[in-house]
Amino acid sequence: MKAFAKILTVAAMGVLVAGSASAAKIVVGGKDFTEQLLLTEMTSQLLKAKGFDVDKKTDMGSTTVRDAQVNGQIDLYWEYTGTSLVTYNKMDSAGMDAQQTYDKVKELDAKLGLTWLNPSQANDTYGLAVRADDEKTNDLKSLSDMAAAYNDGKDLVMALGAEFSKRPDGLPGIEKAYGFKTTRDNIAAMQDALTYAALKDDKVDIAEVFTTDGRIKAFNFRVLADDKQFFPNYAIVPVIRTETLKANPELEGILNGLSAKITDEVMQRLNASVDVDKKSVEEVAKGFLDETGMTM
């Protein structure tokens, strides 16, 4: 009887262990714009398909989601190498290429218990765009041209997100790097998602954009060349708490597999499906996972 009871106990423990492994809860976080909503949704759907219990937390600002991960409130989210380097780690990105930027943030964030997995091929850096068919800005081809226009007193209104207008890798840094200064009358502050419509509807002359955004092509915008290479590389990378990865090592292969599917063209297409074609984030995420066979 004792031997039989022991067998039952061991079997029960095995069931519990197997059950807890297949139902491990992973908190997936994300920021508050379309691309991040898509990445969060794709990751959540993929992990659920692989047997994980997922708690999804979206619509967070950059600093909020970063702090939440460092503090252990979320397990993973997709971050941008340039954001970690410049905004979180307070480093100058001058002279650093994509690989150097990735290597540096991976090294620095490891000290905080964060592991940067494989970078995707998508570089969602900042840009400033104009309407391609606007006579007022037809002579602006680069950020140097824009700086010269402001220095000449040209009345150009720029739509900027709240964070971009204050970030060192945003407007303050551009002004310093390109040698110009805007006034309060030159700036229209708004949510990031609204800058595209403001430019499209001729309410502003220049707008902050993300270079993987599908609306750039759909709305016939021209992104001004960053001829002094001010903007850092912003490779999109899955970042996970090291403690979570050690407890769930299979996550590395799953997330690296998803990262390998993401390119500039892919993100532009997916973003446009939501922002231009008005499909739901859930529908677009599922469609991408299905077409790539990720959830099979």
Place of tokens 């091929």: 121
Alpha helices of 179-296 — where are they, by DSSP H? Answer: 195-200, 215-218, 242-247, 250-259, 264-275, 281-292
Using a pLDDT cut of 90, give the percent of the chain over it: 83
Render pLDDT for 56-74 as a digit per residue (tens, 0 to 9): 999 999 999 999 999 999 9
pLDDT at 6: 41
Render pLDDT for 156-165 as a digit per residue (tens, 0 to 9): 999 999 888 8
Domain limits, the chain: 2-123+233-292, 126-223
Confidence check: pLDDT of 186 > 60 = yes
State how far the Cα of 70 lies from the Cα of 88, in Å rounded to an integer.
11
CATH no. of 126-223:
3.40.190.120
Render pLDDT for 90-127 as a digit per residue (tens, 0 to 9): 998 888 999 999 999 999 999 999 999 999 999 999 99
State how far the Cα of 11 lies from the Cα of 20, in Å rounded to an integer.
14
pTM of the model: 0.80
At the top level of CATH, the class of 2-123+233-292 is alpha beta
Render pLDDT for 197-233 as a digit per residue (tens, 0 to 9): 999 999 999 999 999 999 999 999 999 999 998 998 9
> What is the pLDDT averaged over residues 18-45?
84
Among 172, 188, 89, residue whose Cα is nearest residue 126: 172
Are 2-123+233-292 and 126-223 in the same CATH fold? Answer: yes
CA distances from 192 to 136, 270, 279 (A): 23, 18, 19
pLDDT at 295: 87
